[in-house]
Amino acid sequence: MYFEIVKKIRNILKEHHKFYDESLPMIASENVSSALVREIVASDFQHRYAEGDIGNRFYQGCKYVDEVESIVVDLSKKLFNCSFVEYRPISGTIANLAAYASIAKRNDGIISLSVKDGGHISHTEISAAGILGLRFYYFEFDQNRMNIDVDKSIKKIRRTKPRIINLGASLFLFPHPVKEMREIAEEIDAIVVYDASHVLGLIAGKQFQDPIREGAHIVTSSHHKTFPGPQGGLILTNDEELYKKFKNKTFPGLVSNHHLHHKAALAIALLEMLEFGEKYAKQIIINAKTLAEELYNYGFNVLCADYGFTESHQIVIDVSKLGGGDKIAKKLERANIIVNKNLLPWDDLKNVQNPSGIRIGVQELTRIGMKENEMKIIATFFKRLLIDGESESKIREEVINLRKNFKYIEYSFVKNPAYKYYEFEVIE
């Protein structure tokens, strides 16, 4: 009986891999890692514990872990040009929680983007920040520019005096006003936290803003979106006193075992980005702009047309006139095009299951070698399916045919199949 369950799970995973191998994965918060990263994830590190700091562990048997994690720290400092790195958070949300807990206490204020305006749930009362009992304020938002309204938000900050000014977003088209927020932070004794989760790879590739150079006190992030690593989190700073605080909140505060195999694999991803990051990030942005312009020219309501559509990996389309985000995302999925529905600032929160928007990311397609010509082809798929009314099966067939030419991961030291399922002999 148990072997039958093993076979069932394996078959499910094989079908999953086959589906992605024949699809266009365009979820903005995902990426695909190289064979080298996967090799490390599958190593014996996944079985071990290394509580404590490098060179000062609570368990024996950690000398090789120490060596690898020292490399992770050194590479992170080099890639992000920062003085202090906390690499042990197991997710971006845990990184945020550690940062918040290190600088604020219950009833202190935090200002961030609301979920409707693109903020991540961990920045709000329903997730990490809410657990700490903080008071919540939200930036004033410019819906035309899909960015923070600096002047109105500064007035609100002067009035409310939050302890944390939280930048970064889940819907993240353009750089955020870090310099302006640092100036007002100095005035009211606040700390600027910048959640770089979506744009970390663009920052590493020097194609987006550099939040630390621009004035962020703390940068938090996951490292598996535009940064093509294993899942996990990072916290970066140039401030030693802040580092000591969030280091303590990370361990022993929030993390016991920090998933050693993911942190070892992070070292490989850091090396890949040091070598290929600039080229990769440039192509991501070229692809995003190309796709956005093509979709706009076909009649889609791509947001921020007057401002170049995007400066990141993301594109946002208001599809309310086509039936709403839920309907459109499901229709695209049936054609093997994978996007997500997304709230837009003008949506009613009572209708979160069918918001106005869809969010598109091109970082994974770029990772498997697609460039401008493919973005133009993909735009025709959207038009033919959603505007012209061609059948889902016809578009799916063409998606599968397109994917035959893009099976391998680029911007890596090895060229491996992107969605291969590795199967081993099982003893019955």
CA 392 to chain centre: 29
Q: 274-331: per-residue pLDDT in tens?
A: 999 999 999 999 999 999 999 999 999 999 999 999 999 999 999 999 999 999 999 9
The rounded distance, in Å, linking the Cα atoms of 121 and 275 is 33
Residue 171 in tokens: 């819907």
How much of the chain is in helix, strand and coil states, percent to nearest 5?
A: 50, 15, 40
Q: What angle do CA 331, 336, 338 make, to 5 degrees?
A: 75
Interatomic CA distance for residues 403 and 397, integer angstroms: 10
In contact, 110 and 100? CB cutoff 8 Å: yes
Q: Which residue has the tokens 């799970």?
A: 9
Cα-based distances in Å from 44 to 40, 41, 230, 260:
8, 8, 16, 9
Ranges of beta strands (E only) in 335-392 are 337-338, 340-342, 357-361
pLDDT at 2: 84
Q: Distance between CA atoms of 305 and 313, rounded to whole angstroms? A: 15
- What is the residue-wise DSSP string for 386-418? IIS---HHHHHHHHHHHHTT--B--SSSS--BT
- Does pTM surpass 0.85? yes
CATH 3.40.640.10 location in the chain: 38-270
Provide long-range contacts, Cβ within 8 A and 24+ apart, for 212-216: 212/80, 212/81, 212/82, 212/236, 212/237, 212/238, 213/81, 214/178, 214/179, 214/182, 215/178, 215/179, 215/181, 215/182, 215/183, 215/185, 216/167, 216/178, 216/182, 216/192
In which band, very low, low, confident or very high, does the pLDDT at 66 lie, cut at 50, 70 and 90? very high
Residue 130 confidence (pLDDT): 87
Q: What is the structure's pLDDT at 155?
A: 98
The encoded tokens of residue 146 equal 């899909």
Omega prior to 345 cis, within 30 of 0? no
Question: Is residue 270 pLDDT above 80, yes or no?
Answer: yes
CATH architecture of 16-31+276-403: Alpha-Beta Complex (3.90)
Q: How confident is the model at residue 83 (pLDDT cuts 50, 70, 90)?
A: very high
Share of residues in the chain with pLDDT > 90 (%): 93
pLDDT in tens, 148-168: 999 999 999 999 999 999 999
**From 3.40.50.620, 3.30.43.10, 3.30.70.260, 3.40.640.10, which CATH number describes the 38-270 domain?**
3.40.640.10
Positions of CATH 3.90.1150.10 in the chain:
16-31+276-403
d(CA 81, CA 131): 32
The pLDDT of residue 111 is 98
d(CA 154, CA 188): 11
The H helix count followed by the E strand count for the chain is: 15, 17
Q: Rounded to whole angstroms, how far apart are CA atoms 165 and 181?
A: 7
| Predicted local distance difference test score (pLDDT) of residue 428 | 66
Is the pLDDT reported for residue 357 higher than 90? yes
Supply the angle between the helices 392-403 and 325-334 in degrees, to the nearest 10.
60
Instruction: Check pLDDT > 70 for residue 195.
Output: yes
> Are residues 176 and 167 in contact, defined by beta-carbon separation less than 8 angstroms?
yes
DSSP 262: H
Furthest-apart CA atoms within the chain: distance in Å = 68
Q: What is the pLDDT of residue 61?
A: 97
